[in-house]
Copies of this chain bind each other. A is one copy, B any other.
Amino acid sequence: MSLIDNENIYTTPITTLGEFGLIDRLTKNFTPSNSKTVKAIGDDCAVIDRGDVFELLSTDMLVEGVHFDLAYVPLKHLGYKSIAVNVSDICAMNGKPTHVIISLAVSNRFSVEALEEFYLGVELACKKYNVDLAGGDTTSSTSGMVINVSVIGEVDKDKITYRNGANVNDLLVVTGDLGAAYFGLQVLQREKDIFKDNPKVQPDLSGHDYALSRQLKPEAPVKYLKILEELSIVPTSMIDISDGLSSEALHIAKSSKVSVCLHEEKIPIDYTIMNAGTEFKLNPISCALSGGEDYELLFTIDQKDYEKLKKDPDFTIVGYVSDPSEENSFIASDGSSHKLIAQGWDSTQD
């Protein structure tokens, strides 16, 4: 029932373009005109010149039923995570977060105390990451909960790290380990399904503490930036791993106009995830490549910096940057080479 037709006269489904194709298409006519704009669209953060430093700016929207399920995510954890995932975008530019602003839409099924739980998590994260809550907007929603966080940060001008600085022969490095957050999601989903069938069965989450904490209370990768600073390493390019290693590696490749090569046997995966993979019929490598929500960093370094970090267990070399004439590739543990794609790798091809 409409006086005007906003929806049906045009017909290209959003899904045909994918998230990044859609953004490219929607923003193609936008050209920055402000002299202080260093980078507008196309990296983890926008960059504004503030004289002595660069200001960083990013935003993330989290929608109930899409990004989180309140059947198993405690609101306090959700508040914490909303801040952490935004801080992660600041980290991806080698910056430090300073301020966040939060918009929240909730339906009247939420009580004041429920929102206080959410804000308790926000408060914990703000203290942990040393950011000020600088305002926001609280409004009604017709159905679920929608959270939007915008984050502001700063970075020294000679330390800023974009996606587009990777050079041929650079090494690809990841922090921490991968795949656990996605694995944690599967555990929670399984227990939800069991509960749905039989509400009397108590959830069995034992043995999955690490995966669950990575899913429910992820930390932004600030500690790794401190180590890099101590090691006097400025990455040539960097991105945070929110959508899975393969997707992020391809972003660096595309932005830097190079190719990337990942080695399966190098991908760091926690031993509990390796062991649990069988129980859940999940390939831990697939979780790492395309699971998402790890909030680790993927970065490239010049080979001359290799000696500085090779003994640090926080970092793992997972591959290298190759000539753009080569294909983005994935070398499996058996030595076979495959085309690297956003969803992992193309197993149909040698």
Contacts and interface: CB of A to CB of B under 8 A. Distances in A.
Contact of A134 (B46, B136, B203): B46
- Report copies per complex: 2
A191 B3 contact: yes
A123 interface: yes
Interface in A34-89: 34, 36-37, 40-41, 45-46, 48, 50-52, 55, 57-61, 63-67, 70-75
Given A30-B123, A33-B130, A139-B67, A3 B72 contact: yes
A57 B134 contact: yes
B3 A148 contact: no
A40 B135 CA distance: 6
A303 interface: no
Interface stretch (A12-20, A225-233, A323-331): A12-20
A192 interface: yes
Interface in A174-200: 188, 191-192, 195-196, 199
A137 B60 CA distance: 6
B196 A99 contact: no
B12 A111 contact: yes
Contact of A2 (B46, B65, B71): B71
A152 B36 CA distance: 12
A65 B142 contact: yes
A216 to B, nearest CB: 11
Contact of A41 (B134, B146, B191): B134
Interface of A: 1-4, 6-7, 9-17, 19, 22-23, 25-27, 29-30, 32-34, 36-37, 40-41, 45-46, 48, 50-52, 55, 57-61, 63-67, 70-75, 98-99, 101-106, 108-117, 119, 123, 126, 130-144, 146, 148, 150, 152, 188, 191-192, 195-196, 199, 203
